Amino acid sequence: MAGTQGRDLDRKKLMADPIMMTTIVVLIAFLTLFILYPLAILLVDSMFGSSGFTLDTFRRVLAMASFRTAIGNTMKIGLLVGVLSTAIGLLFAYVEVYVRMRRFTGGLFRLISMLPVVSPPFVLSLSMIMLFGKAGLITRFLLGIYDNNVYGYWGIVIVQTMTFFPVCYMMLRGLLKNIDPSLEEASRDMGASRMKVFTSVTLPLLLPGLGNAFLVTFIESIADFANPMIIGGSYDTLATSIYLQITGAMDKEGAAAMAVVLLVITLGMFAVQKYYLEAKTAATLTGKASRGRMLIEDSSVRIPLTILCSLVAVFVIAMYLCVPIGALFPTWGYKFTPLTFKWFEQVFTKYRGLQAFRDSFVLSLIASPITALLSMIISYLVVKKKFKAKGFIEAVSILAMAVPGTVLGVGYIRGFAGGLFHSGFLSGIYGTGLILVIVFIVRSLPTGTRSGISALRQIDKSIEESAYDMGANSLKVFTSVTLPLIKDSFLSGLVTAFVRSITAISAIILLVTPSYLLITVQINEFAEKGAFSIACAFATILILITYGAVLLMNLFIRFFGTSRTQREET
């Protein structure tokens, strides 16, 4: 009874607050228009023709041998990349949490966890070709191998595994730290070996988390566009097939049907990961450890594991270092001396690099604060307010996480090229910078929203209620009380949105027009032409920009964010 009365009172307060009601309505309209509508229009295009409801487009697409092959290729790559990334991520996480390491090794681990964040998603494909291709530095010039083929299935698997395993490492590291050491030490006290403890205690506690990491990597792998496009060669995947269907065959309806197939796969995996494995993981672990963990110091265990992880880490770092080094060679694969800066000069003098960096920087800079603010507003509504549309706002805002970039790009083409429902309304945004900004916002919104929800759940409701009792409206409470308390999450969301926007390619490659030059599109274009040195020059400058943004964010939070005492109390 009391709970019902409380909900009724909260609802009455909400209805009496015009600012809050306006915010909710605008949010629902934005999420519906720019997330649900493009996906719905894909279903409409693929299932409805001039004669009404029909599945002819699906039948035509599924009858294509190349598309059926692409589905099989995508699933094979996703499964193997998921298994390998999870296994390597678990190895790194276990060594960091359970094994006593030197400070240098820990620094290597932190570095590889940051590299995929600050670099474009296809940098390792460039490195793989330059090191192990037919004109590769290692294969041709060091080993004298001329007939190797780095393109295709194994090229994609290796590159995606090296790109995505740091994500698994970050996820599993947190889970391993939350396991109470007393559970494992009890088994050791009863005479169990370290391997027995791992297989009978640690691994069962970690299984839901392993499944979660596998599915996240699987979704990232099958949705990846850039790596298969550069290093896939003739090995088609769903993402590249959709792109080629709309740009090469000019078959927009067929591309829409292909996009729906890929969307169904990713949404199904996302639903399992989000609503089953995440909940099971949270319930399986024991929370904060009662005492510190006794790290493994046995040389027979410590040295082999540390060496293995260090070799992988050094290989990944060498792959990333290949990019700036590759931009210094006169002609990659044929002439390696003397070192030159001509490619960096040509970026700005010959290939309109200044416009590309300006357009990318400006559009990302516009999108990032809007994304961060929207994320905090959505998080605030989800955590602090009670209203019927709350579940809708939370679900749709996080839905974009499961939508592959190419699917979203096709949805925006079909949804806005001719206006809403082909009526001409809002057709003016298609081909402009505004639609690119909107895509950046939609793609980064889930990350900021999840971060904001986690931060807001740590704030006591009474802090805001006291402000309401003193006569403040919802806008005043949010800007003067809530936002200052979560400004670390806001700033983190700001820089994350900037980095994700400036390094994005899969969603925007179908939407960008000659009016705008974006860095990632330029890198992809030169890489496809085999102009690796100029592609590396673009990529190097982009990595420096994104890494600089991360450093500035960390400095800003350190000096202007929440105080250290407040963070420790939280």
pLDDT at 367: 93
68-113 pLDDT tens trace:
999 999 999 999 999 999 999 988 888 888 887 777 777 777 778 7
Return the CATH number at 132: 1.10.3720.10
Report the C-alpha gap between 425 and 433 in whole angstroms: 17
Report the C-alpha gap between 134 and 140 in whole angstroms: 6
At 335, is the pLDDT very low, low, confident or very high (cuts 50, 70, 90)? low
Task: Give the residue from 294, 39, 316 showing the smallest Cα distance to 161.
Answer: 316
At 486, is the pLDDT very low, low, confident or very high (cuts 50, 70, 90)? confident
Residue 199 lies in a domain: yes
At 431, is the secondary structure helix, strand, or coil?
coil
Q: What is the rounded average pLDDT of the residues 531-536?
A: 88
Cα-based distances in Å from 44 to 41, 257, 263, 440: 5, 10, 14, 24
Residue 477 lies in a domain: no
DSSP-derived secondary structure for 481-494: IIHHHTHHHHHHHH
Residue 158, pLDDT above cutoff 90: yes
115-140 pLDDT tens trace:
877 788 788 898 898 888 887 788 87
Residue 503, pLDDT above cutoff 80: yes
Report yes or no: 98 and 241 within 8 Å, Cβ to Cβ: no
Lowest mean pLDDT among 47-51, 322-326, 401-405, 407-411: 47-51
Q: Which domain holds residue 86?
A: 55-326
pLDDT at 566: 46
3-state secondary structure string across 210-228: HHHHHHHHHHHHHHCCHHH
Residue 4 lies in a domain: no
DSSP-derived secondary structure for 494-544: HHHHHHHHHT--TTTTTT--TT---HHHHHHHHHHHT-HHHHHHHHHHHHH
What's the structural domain count of the chain? 1
Long-range contacts formed by 1-5: CB under 8 A, 24+ apart: none
Which residues, 6 or more positions from 509, have their beta carbon under 8 angstroms from its beta carbon? Answer: 225, 243, 409, 520, 521, 524
Residue 239 lies in a domain: yes
Q: What is the rounded average pLDDT of the residues 556-568?
A: 56
Report yes or no: 501 and 368 within 8 Å, Cβ to Cβ: yes
367: left (phi over 0), alpha (psi -120 to 50) or beta: alpha
* Amino acid, res. 478: F
pLDDT at 563: 45
CA angle 429, 238, 170 (to 5 degrees): 90
At 52, is the secondary structure helix, strand, or coil?
strand
pLDDT at 452: 79
Averaged pLDDT score across all residues of the chain:
81
Q: Is the peptide bond before 369 cis (omega within 30 degrees of 0)?
A: no
**Which two three-digit tokens encode residue 470?**
């003193």
458-483 pLDDT tens trace:
676 777 667 766 767 767 777 777 77
pLDDT at 98: 81
pLDDT at 287: 46
Residue 554 lies in a domain: no
Task: Give the residue from 53, 66, 64, 39 showing the smallest Cα distance to 267.
Answer: 39
Report the C-alpha gap between 385 and 74 in whole angstroms: 41
Which residues, 6 or more positions from 149, have their beta carbon under 8 angstroms from its beta carbon? Answer: 134, 233
Residue 518 lies in a domain: no
Residue 500, pLDDT above cutoff 90: no
Q: What is the rounded average pLDDT of the residues 265-276?
A: 80
Residue 120 lies in a domain: yes
**Which two three-digit tokens encode residue 169?**
């490492």
The pTM score is 0.84
The residue with greater pLDDT, 8 or 304, is 304
Mean pLDDT comparison of 3-17, 79-93, 292-306, 383-397, highest-scoring range = 79-93
* Amino acid, res. 101: M
189-244 pLDDT tens trace:
677 777 777 777 777 878 878 888 898 899 889 988 889 988 988 899 999 999 88
Report the C-alpha gap between 175 and 210 in whole angstroms: 10
Report the C-alpha gap between 224 and 232 in whole angstroms: 11
Quickly count: other Cβ atoms within 10 Å of residue 479's Cβ: 11
Residue 273 lies in a domain: yes
At 349, is the pLDDT very low, low, confident or very high (cuts 50, 70, 90)? confident
Lowest mean pLDDT among 78-82, 388-392, 557-561: 557-561
At 285, is the pLDDT very low, low, confident or very high (cuts 50, 70, 90)? very low
Report the C-alpha gap between 491 and 556 in whole angstroms: 8
Residue 333, pLDDT above cutoff 70: no
Percent of the chain with pLDDT over 90: 13
Cα-based distances in Å from 473 to 18, 386, 447: 10, 17, 28
**Which two three-digit tokens encode residue 83?**
């298994």
At 335, is the secondary structure helix, strand, or coil?
strand
Residue 307, pLDDT above cutoff 90: no
The residue with greater pLDDT, 62 or 485, is 62
Tell me which H or E stretch contains 299: helix 299-326
Report yes or no: 536 and 126 within 8 Å, Cβ to Cβ: yes
Residue 371, pLDDT above cutoff 60: yes
pLDDT at 569: 45
Residue 439, pLDDT above cutoff 90: yes
Task: Give the residue from 412, 356, 286 showing the smallest Cα distance to 535.
Answer: 356
pLDDT at 157: 95
